[in-house]
Amino acid sequence: MQLRGLIVDDSDAFITSASRLLESQGVEIVGTATSCVEALELAAASSPDLALVDVELGEEDGLALAKELSSRFPTTRVIVISTYDRDQMQGLIAAGSAIGFLPKSRLSGDAVRALFEGDQRSAR
């Protein structure tokens, strides 16, 4: 099954490189957003399997967006991403609604699928 993903980040350069990387590794990117409003509109229009959401979206709160996406679109799994490492983010992520966390430096199609498939198994 090919995953369909949405990338939400305030860096156009990151969005471009992450999209290329994930597409080359079998994750179809159905949309990219740089703001919370744009992300919610795209999620409604494209019904992605997963959303990769940066913790820091400029002036906006990526963790609040992750919670909103999970609430409004229960079939979309949210993975929080950041330049910070897991140890620095653990407390914030544990309290959130995301299925997992990936440091941007470890982003890959395999890492995304592993989190997604792990969540799918636990939901059964």
Enter the DSSP assignment of 104: G
For residues 35 and 13, what is the distance between their CA atoms, to the nearest angstrom? 15
Q: Any idea which residue has 């999209």 for tokens?
A: 19
Task: Note the pTM of the prediction, 2 decimals.
Answer: 0.89
The count of domains in the chain is: 1
Residue 74 burial (CB count, 10 A): 8
Q: Residues 67-79: what's their mean pLDDT? A: 94
What is the average pLDDT score of the chain?
Answer: 87
- Tokens of residue 16, six digits: 């471009």
For residues 38 and 40, what is the distance between their CA atoms, to the nearest angstrom? 6
The pLDDT, as a whole number, for residue 124 is 36
The CATH number for 107's domain is: 3.40.50.2300
Q: Residues 25-30: what's their mean pLDDT? A: 97
Question: What range does the domain containing 75 cover?
Answer: 3-122
